[in-house]
Structure 1
Amino acid sequence: MKVAVIGCGGYVGSYVTRALVARGHDVRGSVRDASPERTGWIVEKAAAGAGDRFQLIEADVFDQASIVRAMSGCDGTIVCAGSPKIEPETIPLMAAVAGNCCDAALETGVRAAVFTSSTGSTNPPEGEPEFKNEVDHWSDDELQMQTGKYAAVGKTRLDRTVLQKAESSAGALRGVTINPSTVTGPCMSPEPATSLRSYAAIIRGERMTTVPNSSMSLIDVRDLAALHVAALEQESASGRYFGVRQSWHWQEILDELGRQVPEYTPPRLEPGVVPVRATGFDLTRQASLGVAVQGLPEILAAAVAELRARGMV
């Protein structure tokens, strides 16, 4: 299969590229700037061993013609383009990602499109159920806008656009979104992933000196990439799929971080504080993709190993 990876220089996109290459697919990866000084690591690490099965091309999600060029001749696409920033500008960015990439896929005859989204699109305004699922539970993008959750607005609208365009394509396009929260683990790019910077700051005592009474959902970037590739390869896959292992209370996360880093002493919840229930996920659909997802000790062990290798802790 020939696959266009839109945003192959991002954290998720680089590991999607590596996973596709490892499974024998031809990959055309897109970046906004393909200059060798900015993309050498992609060729050397993400596409290692691919040879002429990997091609790098410049494309911009705001320029549909460039996305058409990136997808031309491909059987499928995995779209990992996005921004880690939480600001109003992320909303038109994600609209372009969803709209232009779906339209380009339809124009070029690409049969399947898998998008990186977020669990931020799965938070029903009436409150969190015991177990969220990808089919029934949707965020209210207008309410998210009012509360300044701009990245979540972008992802909620992305999900709706992808699913609507696939549904209206009369079978021409199979649309999938993979919905993670915090993604961490190893990192190929010269600059460390945002999550790694956060963990380094926690270990150094620069942030989270008290325990938030909340939970966080995690996944190793390699497992997330595997979910994207499985969704592309399985012709029966469509719609939304959670991209999380599970959610843990922050006390559990910090305690595990302390086990991985003996020199770090995690804080404790204030006396008398009752820990909130961690977000529950119905992972039935995710399990149907057949990917084994690592647990908290493995996730944080990989993140800590990367931090140590970079001299960040």
Structure 2
Amino acid sequence: MTQDTRGKVLLTGISGFIGLHCAKEALEQGFEVVGSVRSEAKENEVRATLEAASVDTANLSFAHLDLTSDKGWDEAAAGCDYIMHIASPFTIANPKTEDEMIIPAVQGSLRALRAGKAAGVKRVVLTSSILSMMGTMKTGTFGPDNWTDTNSTEISTYTKSKTLAERAAWEFMDTLSDENAMELVVVNPGGVFGPPLGKNITGQTMALTDQMLRGKLPMLPNIAFPMVDVRDLAVLHVKALTETSAKGKRVIAATSDPISFIQMAQVMKDQGYKGPSTRKAPDFVLKFTALFDREAKGMLGMLNMNLSANTSATKEVFGWTPRAAVESIQDTADAVRALQH
């Protein structure tokens, strides 16, 4: 490891779609990165993926952590200046039991914060979601002051898990009394699009794009929400490590305007792809499918959603200008098509 860096970051979930991009950005911005993985095979995969993307991995090392176990967290955080906690279970489909998703999400956030406190880190940057703000709103604009009601029966398990994990993090911070105590910044991304760094297209966004391109989705549900390009999201995460005025803030990382599934499909059609359909599915189709399909059930709460995001604070604090949604969707489609077998 070279000593001349901007600080050392424990980055959980480094092997994921967002994690890889954040690792690339952090290393390129001069940070030393300790990435959490579950196995040595994942270490090799992450290093190879970053090196294939022309990233110098001299300042990259690894720790083996699990969201549901205390083992290794304090050791991984020791000597770190920052923690970027990205790891969290993510599927649109509702799991068989809520706890499968909620327990790792909440406990993982608390383990990251406890390890940070024990190691004396300056700041934790936690990845949440705009879902923790949108609640059951269907139209209008949400912002950092909004919170999703986790008692609502209309929200998906994933939405509940992200909201509870973020709430637990803020409540943990309320227990810290020292003026110079560790700081927290929460980044709340919209739907995350953009090209993957590696060859893995099994994530939710990639899988959705893959199905659209293959013509596997003859009709699309009437859902629209703000989105973000993974490359812009990574920039924001790394800036959030050191931006003084971000302390204690919930940062919306998304376009202000909602983007619908049908708009996404239209962008791909305009690119010349033949597979995507722009037909809107009648509401009853999703409601009926939800009776026996967990993924459809997970999307029910978002049906007829058309929400905008108040991103003024993000732009003000970070001087952030995200790339256009059209560019992000086009790049996603091209990347997925190139990786399709």
| CA distance in structure 2 between the aligned counterparts of 1:277 and 1:67, rounded to whole angstroms | 39
- The DSSP-based 3-state class of the residue aligned with 1:63 is coil
| CA distance in structure 1 between the aligned counterparts of 2:82 and 2:214, rounded to whole angstroms | 43
Residue 286 in 1 paired to residue 314 in 2? yes
| CA distance in structure 2 between the aligned counterparts of 1:121 and 1:93, rounded to whole angstroms | 16
The alpha-carbon deviation at position 138 of structure 1 amounts to 0.5
Contact 1:58 1:66 in 2 (8 A): yes
The alpha-carbon deviation at position 103 of structure 1 amounts to 0.8
Cross-structure match for 1:56: 62
Residue 68 in 1 paired to residue 78 in 2? no
| One-letter code aligned to 2:193 | T
- The DSSP-based 3-state class of the residue aligned with 1:130 is strand
* Among candidates 28, 31, 35, match of residue 25 of structure 1: 31
Residue 165 in 1 paired to residue 175 in 2? no
Q: 1:206 to 1:72 in 2, by over 3 A?
A: same
- The DSSP-based 3-state class of the residue aligned with 1:279 is strand
- The DSSP-based 3-state class of the residue aligned with 1:202 is helix
* Among candidates 30, 49, 57, match of residue 45 of structure 1: 49
Residue 84 in 1 paired to residue 90 in 2? yes
* Among candidates 231, 240, 263, match of residue 240 of structure 2: 231
Stretch of structure 1 that moved more, 238-247 or 298-307: 238-247
Residue 297 in 1 paired to residue 326 in 2? yes
| CA distance in structure 2 between the aligned counterparts of 1:103 and 1:277, rounded to whole angstroms | 36
Contact 2:222 2:281 in 1 (8 A): no
Q: Percent identity?
A: 22
Cross-structure match for 1:137: 146
| CA distance in structure 2 between the aligned counterparts of 1:257 and 1:16, rounded to whole angstroms | 26
Cross-structure match for 1:255: 266
Q: 1:147 to 1:43 in 2, by over 3 A?
A: same
Deviation per CA, 1:160-188: give whole Å up to 9, x if none: 12222223323412112211232121112
Contact 1:75 1:109 in 2 (8 A): yes
Q: 1:120 to 1:148 in 2, by over 3 A?
A: closer
Q: 1:12 to 1:277 in 2, by over 3 A?
A: closer
Stretch of structure 1 that moved more, 79-88 or 164-173: 164-173
Contact 1:34 1:57 in 2 (8 A): no
Contact 1:64 1:101 in 2 (8 A): no
| CA distance in structure 1 between the aligned counterparts of 2:227 and 2:135, rounded to whole angstroms | 20
The alpha-carbon deviation at position 141 of structure 1 amounts to 0.9
Cross-structure match for 1:199: 209
Count matched residues. 302
* Among candidates 236, 240, 252, match of residue 250 of structure 2: 240
The alpha-carbon deviation at position 22 of structure 1 amounts to 0.7
Deviation per CA, 1:269-301: give whole Å up to 9, x if none: 589xxx967311100122122232111211112
Q: How does 1:143-158 map to 2 (within 5 A)?
A: 143=152, 146-147=153-154, 149-158=156-165
Structure 1 unaligned segments of length 5 or more: list them: none
- The DSSP-based 3-state class of the residue aligned with 1:200 is helix
Deviation per CA, 1:56-94: give whole Å up to 9, x if none: 121122223411111110100101111123422110011
| CA distance in structure 2 between the aligned counterparts of 1:83 and 1:185, rounded to whole angstroms | 20
